[in-house]
Amino acid sequence: MSAQPSGATAFLARFDGLRDHLPGGRLPWVAKLRADAAEAFRAAGLPGRRVEAWRYTDLAPIAQAGFTEALTFVDEAPALPPMRAPYRAVFVDGRFAESLSVMPAGYRCGSLAAGLDGAEFLLGTLAQPLPLVALNTMLFEDGLLLDLPAGQDGGVLELLSIASHTGRPIAFHPRHLIRLGAGASLTLIETSLGPAEAAYLHNPVYEIGIGADAKLSHVRIQREGRSGFQLATVLAAVQAGGVYDNFTLNAGARLVRNEIHTALLGPKAACHMNGAQLAGDGQHADTTTFLDHAAPDCASRQTYKTVLAGKSRGVFQGKILVRQAAQRTDGYQMNQALLLSDDAEIDAKPQLEIYADDVKCSHGATVGALDEAQLFYLRARGIPAEQARAMLVQAFLVEAIEGVTDPIAQAALAEATDGWWEREAA
Amino acid sequence: MLKIEGLTAEIEGKQILKGIDLEVPTGEIHAIMGPNGSGKSTLSYVLSGREGYEITGGSATFNGVDLLSMEPEERAASGLFLAFQYPVELPGVGNANFLRTALNAIRKSKGEPEIDAMQFLKLARTKLKTLQMADDMLKRNVNVGFSGGEKKRNEVLQMALLEPSLAILDETDSGLDIDALKIVADGVNAMRGPGFSALVITHYQRLLDYIVPDRVHVLIGGRIVKSGGKELALELEAEGYAKVAA
Ligand SMILES: Nc1ncnc2c1ncn2[C@@H]1O[C@H](COP(=O)(O)OP(=O)(O)OP(=O)(O)O)[C@@H](O)[C@H]1O
Ligand SMILES: [Mg+2]
């Protein structure tokens, strides 16, 4: 028996072989970050189900897949969906594709690999001792580097991640660094796509720094191919009066983990984290959130909705930590699941840990099936059964989705959710 | 014509309908009266296809077609409409979207073209006006936060839009104020004609002053125990079920 933690071997071997060739290999501070991350990953390995935070999500299929690196650039440009916003950063297999991208001018926004020298302000600063973050730090080849100066409105930017079909099970670990200066604002709409039949691993990590009174609206639409894996970790830190809004739709992938850590570090910072998970036969969707209330007078709102069809599994874990300093915290968390089949399973674990005494914090959870009376009411009006079910699924999602107000994001979301049930039922 | 013969049905092993015989010829409006729990709503659900009822015997046909073997949406498409005794709330579903989806589903099944949002709004506004309903009813979620009377009016609005050939109105008058009662009755009377029949379930003879029925049936214990002209309603009101049925 090997002493190596499970699933780590191939990734570590890759790092050992490539360390000098990875971006930033000649920058001592990057090399050190990577070496430290490799040490941490060597010790931890892919998290197993005995780790409390991974009780409900089994990474064994990833450990067994033996993912390899996306060594060569794909020559052929993959088919891209039409642009929705004026600007779009395109990543193919985790690498920035400049020729496919339309980048905003007026602020620093581009490839991390090309801009590593000077990314010290963010890279690794928000990282937490998490195995998947270590894996990403060890092996990232590129990512988005976005630095919006104080007071500037960055408008709407699309981030598109595409997995190409190389015929081999490839893994890529993009690192996205996003900083908003004081009073800056930005809407970032991200879509991840991949071919249905390709097994691949997309392991993105986001380090997001939001300055005082700045606002980032971050919409993530996960539509990976049905054989793909996505393990995403968002690390966000919000200064006084700043706002971080995250909406994540999990609609694709064989297995997805959407893990978000948000720290509210200054007074009157706010955070809305909403999401919807639509999982059909053979899919596993996990949303895990950590909200760290570290300053007084902050507010957080979370509404997550999970819809499960066929033989699928949904997970929601949400922890709210209210530190002693975080007086007058206003925290709210709701997670609801709708089970459309007897073979679907949901695990929900809300957790409150409160050290301040003047706090308003509530959480709730519901699990249910479609309401037969509602279904009959629709059908009695002539609406066919599957269409009626689809309407009720949409209605169930409304509360989570209505917080997304940007019209471009709304259209992207509608495209990703419309017809979902009809396709699953077919 | 609606023709029900020897219809028996049970729910959770309990027999509720014990042999219903009833005919509503095309163009006629019939009333059903009967005490609480006698099976009036059960009959309306069985006719419109709600799940959970076991039909143990008999038949129900509409214009010669077997109703009981159809899906609920097929029954609606063939012209059947049930105004619910307890209209269902649909949080997250906008009323306008609901009404237009229903209308288009029925149009589609008839081979008619769908109508777009603009055309629909125009149509809905004229119907709202005749029912003296506020336009903002369209913007709200279906029946959510509606008062009892508003829910009933919303049922009648749906009927007016979907233009059924057979309407079952299950206590649509309950919870309506006097003015609303007249408005709703006008809505039903406006549809009256050779291509429209209705089964009006009510506890109050007053409704039948406005919607004058061709026949009145008394349903007690899962059976029609007596039928007569519109004067039977007055008789019931004066004497009570026990005496009339005896
Ligand atoms: N799910 C159920 N399980 C058991 N009994 C039921 C169920 N649904 C209805 N019943 C019973 O069936 C009988 C008939 O009910 P129904 O609703 O048809 O009465 P109704 O004539 O419409 O009464 P009301 O005038 O009060 O509306 C009642 O005794 C009721 O309790
Ligand atoms: Mg009833």
Say whether pLDDT at B92 is over 50.
yes
Mean pLDDT of A296-325: 98
Banded model confidence at residue B202, pLDDT cuts 50, 70, 90: very high
Which residues on chain A are in Cβ contact (under 8 Å) with B92?
394-399
Neighbouring C-beta atoms of residue B74, cutoff 10 Å: 17
Distance from CA of B240 to the nearest CA of A (A): 33
Please identify, by atom number, the ligand 1 atom nearest to the C-alpha of residue B44.
18
Shortest CA distance to A284 belongs to which of A247, A248, A315?
A315
Give the end-to-end CA distance of chain A in Å, rounded to a whole number. 46
* Confidence (pLDDT) at B126: 94
CA dist B88 and B74 (Å) reads 20
Mean pLDDT of A94-98: 94
Work out the widest C-alpha separation in chain B, in whole angstroms: 56
Residue of chain A whose alpha carbon sits nearest to that of B71: A379
Q: A380 vs B105: CB contact, 8 Å cut-off?
A: no
pLDDT above 90 covers what percent of chain B?
Answer: 89
Mean pLDDT of A390-402: 94
CA dist A38 and A58 (Å) reads 22
Q: B162 vs A380: CB contact, 8 Å cut-off?
A: no
Say whether pLDDT at A154 is over 80.
yes
Q: How far is CA B222 from CA A105, B18, B105, B203, in A?
A: 77, 5, 34, 16
Q: A376 vs B73: CB contact, 8 Å cut-off?
A: no
Beta bridge partners of residue A346, listed in sequence order: A314
Cα(B50) to centroid of ligand 2, in Å? Answer: 14
Mean pLDDT, chain A, as a whole number?
Answer: 94
Cα(B136) to centroid of ligand 2, in Å? Answer: 29
Banded model confidence at residue A72, pLDDT cuts 50, 70, 90: low
- Cα dihedral sign for B188, B194, B196, B197? positive
Say whether pLDDT at A76 is over 80.
no
pTM of the model: 0.93
Question: B15 CB less than 6 Å from ligand 1?
Answer: no
Q: What are phi and psi of A187, to 5 degrees?
A: -115, 120
Mean pLDDT of A143-150: 98
Substitution candidate for ligand 1 out of B41, B168, B199, B201 with most atoms within 8 A of CB:
B41
Angle at B47 between CA B41 and CA B53, to 5 degrees: 70
Residue from the list A372, A382, A398 with its beta carbon closest to the beta carbon of B102: A382
Q: A395 vs B93: CB contact, 8 Å cut-off?
A: yes
Question: B85 CB less than 6 Å from ligand 1?
Answer: yes
Substitution candidate for ligand 1 out of B11, B203, B219 with most atoms within 8 A of CB:
B11
Residue from the list A374, A380, A391 with its beta carbon closest to the beta carbon of B82: A380
pLDDT above 90 covers what percent of chain A?
Answer: 85
Residue located nearest, by CA, to atom 22 of ligand 1? B41
Judge whether A181 and A149 are in contact, CB under 8 Å: yes
* Confidence (pLDDT) at A73: 60
Burial class, A35, CB count within 10 angstroms (exposed 0-12 / middle 13-18 / buried 19+): middle
CA dist A314 and A345 (Å) reads 6
Say whether pLDDT at A263 is over 50.
yes
* Confidence (pLDDT) at B54: 96
Banded model confidence at residue B246, pLDDT cuts 50, 70, 90: confident
3-state helix, strand, coil in chain A (%, to 5): 20, 40, 40
The ligand placed nearest to the CA atom of residue B84 is: 2
Cα(B171) to centroid of ligand 2, in Å? Answer: 7
Say whether pLDDT at A3 is over 60.
no
CA-based Rg of chain B, rounded to a whole angstrom? Answer: 18
Six-digit token pair at A356? Answer: 């301040």
Q: B105 vs A394: CB contact, 8 Å cut-off?
A: no
Burial class, A68, CB count within 10 angstroms (exposed 0-12 / middle 13-18 / buried 19+): middle
Shortest CA distance to B231 belongs to which of B245, B214, B243?
B214
> What is the second-level CATH architecture of the domain B2-245?
3-Layer(aba) Sandwich (3.40)
Say whether pLDDT at A2 is over 70.
no
Mean pLDDT of B171-175: 92
Residue from the list A372, A373, A382 with its beta carbon closest to the beta carbon of B77: A382
Helices (H), ranges, chain B: 40-48, 72-77, 95-109, 117-130, 148-162, 178-191, 205-210, 231-239, 241-245
A 353-412 residues inside an 8 A Cβ radius of B: 372-374, 376-385, 387-388, 391-392, 394-399
Burial class, A53, CB count within 10 angstroms (exposed 0-12 / middle 13-18 / buried 19+): middle
Shortest CA distance to B199 belongs to which of B47, B73, B75?
B47
* Confidence (pLDDT) at B175: 87
* Confidence (pLDDT) at A8: 85
Say whether pLDDT at A1 is over 90.
no
Q: Are strands A144-148 and A108-111 parallel, antiparallel or unpaired?
A: antiparallel
* Confidence (pLDDT) at A169: 85
Banded model confidence at residue A71, pLDDT cuts 50, 70, 90: low
Beta bridge partners of residue A95, listed in sequence order: A92
Judge whether A188 and A216 are in contact, CB under 8 Å: yes
Mean pLDDT of A163-182: 91
Mean pLDDT of B153-169: 96
Mean pLDDT, chain B, as a whole number?
Answer: 95
* Confidence (pLDDT) at A226: 94
Domains of chain B, by residue range, sit at: 2-245
Q: Any residues with CB less than 8 A from the CB of B85 and at least 6 apart, and which?
A: B41, B44, B170, B171, B174, B201
Cα(B157) to centroid of ligand 2, in Å? Answer: 20
Question: B44 CB less than 6 Å from ligand 1?
Answer: no
Mean pLDDT of A124-131: 90
Tell me the pLDDT tens digit for each residue of B33-50.
Answer: 999 999 999 999 999 999
pLDDT above 70 covers what percent of chain A?
Answer: 97
Distance from CA of A262 to the nearest CA of B (A): 29
Say whether pLDDT at A183 is over 60.
yes
Residue located nearest, by CA, to atom 25 of ligand 1? B36
Question: B51 CB less than 6 Å from ligand 1?
Answer: no
Mean pLDDT of A74-80: 75
| DSSP string computed for A137-199 | HHH----EEEEEPTT-EEEEEEEEEE----SS-EEE--EEEEEE-TT-EEEEEEEEE--TT--
What amino acid occupies position A403? Answer: G
Which residues on chain B are in Cβ contact (under 8 Å) with A383?
73, 101-102, 105
